[in-house]
Chain A
Amino acid sequence: MNLRRITLKNGADLDGFRKAVRWLIAEELAPQHVVFAIDDAPGLFGDEQAGDAAPVSLPKGVARLIEQVVCHHDPERYALLYQLVWRVLNGERDLLEVASDPLVHRIDLTARSVRRDLHKMHAFVRFRRLKGDNLERFAAWFEPEHFILEAAASFFIDRFRSMDWAILTPIGSMRWDRAMLIFGPPASREDAPGEDSFEEGWRGYYESVFNPARVNPTAMRAEMPKKYWRNLPETAAIPGLIQTAAQRVERMIEQEATMPAKRTPERALEAMWDQEPKSLKELNAIIAKAGPLVPGATQAVFGEGPAHAEIVFVGEQPGDQEDLQGRPFVGPAGKLLSKAMREAGIEREQAYLTNAVKHFKFEQRGHRRIHSKPTAGEVKHYRPWLMKELELVRPKLVVALGATAVLALSGKATPITRSRGRARFGAYEGYITVHPSYLLRLPDEATKREAYEAFLNDLRRIHDLAQADLDTGELPLAAE
């Protein structure tokens, strides 16, 4: 049987190879009857032959391998791939799993070489800014080993989307103008700028991070082969660095430790450890400066009340109203809390009210800002501030309003129904009850009234607990 000659375009001719495979498989031509040639002007194998051949279905791994291997400069790449396709379609569907097979091994090495070249292109392209140009435009000259220009494009677009750049190579060029990618003809080194104002700084950086005591040029060359050096501005420093390394190390070793000049700056050292905020005002300034640790929020809402209040109430997070006014518990739930406190004999002005999370986390839905429950992780982000706040207020009793407050105070998620009542939060005597917003959400009046009574009872006990001398254990109510 005559050999069939398939001519493919120069470069990575993935389309041409796909068409050829369809046709060859349709004609049932085994690899030994086919030769692949590469020419800039393919003529012997025309579209008309492949036009109606059915697509060939290949395992995903094989298809992916083909995409990579066609980029290789090895003229045998198509023949190797066709052998692989033939065997996969003729009883060895899982051939790729046999990594020890000589053909699979060879194709794998070929693909690896392409992937490596691609990786090195991502790494070693060096953009230089075009001069005399008000717009910021960049260009780079690079010499890839294989036909990988197209394959490399998406990396540079994803990374430098807002930049205007061009990459010029001997096998073609590409330009991104912040909207579109255009491929162009091969270029030459002179087409790219010869320098960039940041290169000297970069070279200085490169020289400085080198540790002469660890000199190991072999390891460097293994990862940064010499063929890439001429297009890397920093490599000019290499010979000098290697030459002087031994000397530099000897000098370091010979040099006796010098006497320190001014070494115990006692006042600075003392001041260094004096960094903790000393007042709520200082703490709040820190919180304000940090900005929200949750999505949403226009401003931080700080705790409010006397600096050394006996009772601290901790809620979940500020709501819509609180966020706008910058004060805690001023919305509907806050009003309900005030009312209940009054009825239970607790003066709101004498208590310290704050939230576990200091910012309003919400989702914008049209004009409405919908409260969004902080996650456990988010609550924990705010926890160090809350702990500091308690440390500064030093209350007799800390009241957790709702589950989020319990999580923030104890560090653990605990259902309210099971833990309601007296509690211990680290160093603080505590009390757990529901959040007033829970009362607002209840559907019918009867349950609402009942729940409000229970809440009121909690507040009365909180009032009594705060009155009692907790340290001596003298309690007006039996502990549960």
Chain B
Amino acid sequence: MDEKLSKKLRILADAAKYDASCSSSGAPKRKADVDGLGSTVGTGICHAYTPDGRCVSLLKILLTNYCLFDCAYCVNRRSSNVKRAKFSVDEVVTLTIEFYKRNYIEGLFLSSGIIRSPDYTMEQMILVAKKLRRDHGFRGYIHLKTIPEASPWLIEEAGLWADRLSINLELPTEQSLERLAPEKDGASIETAMAQMFERIEEAREERRHFSPAGQTTQMIVGADETTDADVLRTSAKLYGHYAMKRVYYSAFSPIPDSSAILPLKSPPLMRESRLYQADWLLRYYGFDVDEIAASGERGMLDLDIDPKLAWALKNRHRFPVDVNRAEREMLLRVPGLGARAVDKIVVARKHTTLRLEDVARLTSGLKRAKPFLITADHHPKARLDQLNLRERLIEKPEQLSLFA
């Protein structure tokens, strides 16, 4: 591989890594044509993991990190002194194909700094996707970042070639956007999300290809003062209005040559992880934002225990729950029981009466579940009301950060 290309790749991969999304899931199953290359599997594949524990699934790069925007949190803002580079359309196509042939990646995740104009930038990105699909018969995964400031017809085109589209909201409130991302505007972001949502739904009904893996977004956590409750409220709205497949949370992390107006500290990784757990509760466990928010203090989630456990400790009157009798909805609210474990419980108890050791085979979270659960041979009795229950259930902190 050409050395100049290698150098550019380093710069433009480094510039893209603050986007948390790397998933290659949700595309319809495809196989390569006789002359083509590439396939998709439903859940996606992670081809490697970096020492930060994150998965490498797609070739996640920027077309260029030159940018006319000046978003304070962004390593690529125009006022930053980072090294700059720009790929040609053909260079991105070559890299994608050659990496794919060696089984390094599931496909391409292309984003870009804004050069010349939002339209020009978006056109170049679409051109990459089009060339991959049309000239190389590429059937692998393509995720395109949508530029909400670009003309609406470009979104219409992008979805025809991409498996997934995304616009990062980045900041959960309009005030923060104004302060930290002066060129961005919340209204145009939501207009573009709404446009994508409509087209995705229509195409699904009409069995046509338009961003079949839906759309996602990302919010940065810790760059502004927004509380967890407000972040989750924004998420709930995004899931509800635009059927987001995922809202990613990205702990604001120190960047090289950072802006003077932002906190320079270790990324709030535990906060990020709690937000993901809360997000799961919203989508799969029947919780609403207010319930989750009430489990913490002043709109912030409890960092020592997971939000479901925090909720249960504050709502002890709803427990204990009988594993052999309770409704699925209530079992989902038992700390330590995941949705899959609950499904297994509901099926298994049609044939047998569950004892504690049976439940132990269905979940790895028995320690957390035990004080809240009745089985054929176990009742927590007064233990549920012990004052030190929370302390006893705090997990030993894992090594999450260098700064801990």
| Bound-state Cα–Cα, A162 to B136, Å | 11
State whether A161 touches B153 (Cβ < 8 A): no
- The answer to whether A127 and B6 touch (CB under 8 A), given A255-B257, A376-B206, A384-B151, is no
For B103, the chain A residues whose CB sits under 8 A away are 125-127, 140, 160
- The answer to whether A214 and B157 touch (CB under 8 A), given A127-B101, A138-B102, A272-B68, is no
Which segment, of B234-242, B305-313, B346-354, B385-393, faces chain A? B346-354
For B260, the chain A residues whose CB sits under 8 A away are 256-257
Picked from B14, B32, B56, B399, the residue with its CB within 8 Å of the CB of A218 is: B399
Picked from B17, B137, B202, the residue with its CB within 8 Å of the CB of A380 is: B202
Which segment, of B39-47, B170-178, B288-296, faces chain A? B39-47
Residues of chain B from 187 to 205 with CB closer than 8 A to chain A in the complex: 198-199, 202-203, 205
- The answer to whether A220 and B50 touch (CB under 8 A), given A119-B45, A158-B39, is yes
- The answer to whether A216 and B53 touch (CB under 8 A), given A159-B38, A376-B206, A377-B210, is yes
- The answer to whether A162 and B32 touch (CB under 8 A), given A98-B351, A122-B45, A273-B117, is yes
Closest to A128 in B: B102
B227 within 8 A of A: no
- The answer to whether A124 and B32 touch (CB under 8 A), given A138-B101, A275-B117, is no
Q: What is the 8 Å Cβ interface bit string for chain B, positions 40-67, against chain A (1 contact, 0 not)?
A: 0100011111111111100110000000
| Bound-state Cα–Cα, A162 to B31, Å | 11
State whether B116 touches A265 (Cβ < 8 A): no
Q: What is the 8 Å Cβ interface bit string for chain B, positions 108-125, against chain A (1 contact, 0 not)?
A: 000000101111100100
- The answer to whether A245 and B51 touch (CB under 8 A), given A208-B9, A263-B79, is yes
B402 within 8 A of A: yes
| Bound-state Cα–Cα, A202 to B104, Å | 8
State whether B157 touches A376 (Cβ < 8 A): no
Main secondary structure of the interface of B (DSSP, over half): loop
A310 within 8 A of B: no
Query: How extensive is the interface on chain B, given as a class?
Result: 35 or more
Shortest distance from the beta carbon of B394 to any chain A beta carbon, whole Å: 19
Closest to B260 in A: A257
For A385, the chain B residues whose CB sits under 8 A away are 153
Residues of chain B from 216 to 257 with CB closer than 8 A to chain A in the complex: 251, 253-257
For B160, the chain A residues whose CB sits under 8 A away are 293, 381
B152 within 8 A of A: yes
Residues of chain A from 375 to 408 with CB closer than 8 A to chain B in the complex: 375-378, 380-385, 388
State whether A376 touches B68 (Cβ < 8 A): no
A438 within 8 A of B: no
Residues of chain B from 2 to 46 with CB closer than 8 A to chain A in the complex: 5-6, 9-11, 13-14, 16-18, 31-39, 41, 45-46
Closest to B257 in A: A258
Q: What is the 8 Å Cβ interface bit string for chain B, positions 264-294, against chain A (1 contact, 0 not)?
A: 1111010000000000000000000000000
Residues of chain B from 331 to 349 with CB closer than 8 A to chain A in the complex: 344-345, 347-348
State whether A377 touches B9 (Cβ < 8 A): no
State whether B55 touches A223 (Cβ < 8 A): yes
State whether B51 touches A375 (Cβ < 8 A): no
B98 within 8 A of A: yes
A286 within 8 A of B: yes
Q: What is the 8 Å Cβ interface bit string for chain A, positions 270-305, against chain B (1 contact, 0 not)?
A: 011111100000000010011101000000000000
A163 within 8 A of B: yes
| Bound-state Cα–Cα, A234 to B332, Å | 40
Shortest distance from the beta carbon of B80 to any chain A beta carbon, whole Å: 7
A249 within 8 A of B: yes
A56 within 8 A of B: no
State whether B156 touches A293 (Cβ < 8 A): yes
Residues of chain A from 229 to 278 with CB closer than 8 A to chain B in the complex: 232, 234, 238, 241-242, 245-246, 249, 252-253, 255-258, 260-261, 263, 265, 268-269, 271-276
Closest to B122 in A: A275
- The answer to whether A252 and B254 touch (CB under 8 A), given A205-B13, A210-B50, is yes
Picked from B10, B46, B80, the residue with its CB within 8 Å of the CB of A204 is: B10
| Bound-state Cα–Cα, A212 to B256, Å | 11
Picked from B51, B60, B99, B123, the residue with its CB within 8 Å of the CB of A220 is: B51
For A293, the chain B residues whose CB sits under 8 A away are 156-157, 160
| Bound-state Cα–Cα, A258 to B402, Å | 25
State whether A216 touches B399 (Cβ < 8 A): yes
Picked from A100, A232, A257, A263, the residue with its CB within 8 Å of the CB of B354 is: A100
The 3 closest A-B pairs by CB, nearest first: A219-B53, A377-B202, A100-B358
Residues of A that sit less than 8 Å from B by CB = 94, 97-102, 105, 119, 122-129, 138, 140, 155, 158-163, 196-202, 204-220, 222-224, 232, 234, 238, 241-242, 245-246, 249, 252-253, 255-258, 260-261, 263, 265, 268-269, 271-276, 286, 289-291, 293, 375-378, 380-385, 388
Residues of B that sit less than 8 Å from A by CB = 1, 5-6, 9-11, 13-14, 16-18, 31-39, 41, 45-56, 59-60, 68, 70, 78-81, 95, 98-99, 101-104, 114, 116-120, 123, 130, 137, 140, 151-153, 156-157, 160, 198-199, 202-203, 205-206, 208, 210, 251, 253-260, 264-267, 269, 344-345, 347-348, 350-352, 354, 358-359, 361-362, 398-402
- Can you add 10 more A-B contacts, CB < 8 Å, to A375-B206, A384-B152? A160-B103, A162-B36, A198-B104, A201-B9, A206-B56, A213-B267, A220-B49, A223-B49, A249-B254, A257-B257
What are 22 sample pairs from A and B whose C-beta atoms fall under 8 A apart?
A: A97-B348, A124-B47, A162-B33, A163-B37, A163-B101, A198-B1, A202-B99, A209-B54, A209-B56, A214-B253, A220-B49, A220-B50, A220-B51, A220-B52, A223-B55, A245-B51, A260-B78, A272-B117, A275-B119, A376-B202, A377-B206, A381-B199
